């Protein structure tokens, strides 16, 4: 298997001292206590201030987003928060939300408490749908100009091209994987064709259980808009669904009961659920490969370079090919 050459190590200049210095440079007074939070794409820490109050600082990975794209993320979150939506937006410090210290780019957020939501509750799903509908009503007002769209090219063709050139796949599995992946992308195209032209709007982009904090009596709080992109509304809904088909139909009904109080849902987008899941699977595999020069990734995902991982991905994509041929959830 080809060994990918390591470039400059991401976050090489990040140390406890450099992080504390960065926060002091924007007028904050950390007391020295740092807690690393679970994040791989960026580095995220909970930092306590001299007065005992915590803040969350996110340090952005170099080379992923331009400053303009990050500021679009911040502006969108602030726009939502300004309309009293439960969104954790970055703090404005020294008149800015995006800061730099040496080669580090960072933003500071208020700490939001909460637990993982219970998506097996119809009331929770309806509540989630209600707030996502409000987010989409705002997201539809204007497009992003510096952030890309979730589509077959960005989440399918480009990641697959990277994987083909990367040398990560075991030689004995490469031909099979790429053959199945091409069939899967053909299935994705068929799903998009059945859906027809659907609206593209500003999305959270990664609306799964790990990016929602549930507050008892207060409902959901949405965090981490780092993957905010343009795309179809269903992208922010399908990851709320799980279980057998009948379960997912019921869950979708609960979500849309709240969603459509604030934003009209185009039922043609139901054709895209399994297509978007397929694109996410391909994109995720390429994401791991693209981040392999970061020491945190081989340590956290050692199975990525094992034959078993790619065998499982082949089976997964074959399952997706079959699922994309099934009727959409509400049309069965």
Known catalytic residues are 206, 224
Are 188 and 157 spatial neighbours (Cβ–Cβ below 8 Å)?
no
Whats the size of the chain, residue-wise? 332
d(CA 195, CA 192): 5
């Amino acid at each position: 298997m080809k060994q990918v050459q390591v470039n400059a190590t991401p976050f090489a200049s990040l140390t406890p001292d450099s992080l504390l210095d960065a926060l002091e440079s924007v007028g904050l007074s950390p007391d020295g206590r740092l807690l690393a939070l679970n994040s791989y794409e960026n580095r995220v820490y909970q930092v306590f201030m001299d007065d005992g109050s915590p803040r969350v600082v996110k340090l952005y990975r170099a080379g992923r987003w331009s400053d303009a794209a990050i500021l679009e993320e911040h502006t969108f979150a602030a726009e939502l928060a300004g309309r009293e939506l439960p969104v954790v937006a970055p703090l404005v410090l020294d008149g800015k939300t995006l800061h730099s210290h040496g080669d580090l780019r960072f933003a500071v957020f208020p700490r939001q408490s909460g637990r993982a939501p219970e998506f097996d509750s119809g009331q929770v799903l309806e509540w989630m749908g209600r707030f996502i509908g409000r987010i989409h009503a705002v997201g539809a007002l204007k497009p992003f100009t510096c952030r890309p769209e979730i589509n077959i090219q960005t989440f399918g063709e480009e990641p697959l091209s990277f994987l083909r050139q990367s040398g990560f796949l075991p030689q004995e599995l490469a031909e099979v994987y790429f053959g199945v992946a091409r069939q899967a992308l053909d299935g994705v195209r068929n799903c998009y064709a059945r859906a027809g032209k659907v609206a593209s709007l500003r999305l959270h982009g990664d609306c799964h259980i790990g990016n929602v904090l549930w507050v008892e009596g207060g409902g959901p709080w949405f965090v981490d808009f780092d993957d905010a992109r343009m795309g179809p509304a269903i992208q922010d809904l399908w990851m709320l669904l799980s279980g057998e088909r009948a379960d997912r139909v019921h869950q979708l009904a609960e979500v849309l009961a709240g969603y459509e109080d604030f934003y009209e849902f185009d039922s043609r987008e139901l054709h895209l659920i399994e297509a978007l899941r397929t694109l996410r699977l391909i994109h995720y595999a390429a994401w791991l490969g693209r981040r392999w020069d970061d020491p945190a990734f081989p340590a956290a995902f050692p199975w990525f370079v094992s034959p078993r991982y790619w065998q499982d991905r082949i089976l997964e994509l074959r399952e997706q090919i079959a699922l994309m041929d099934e009727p959409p959830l509400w049309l069965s």
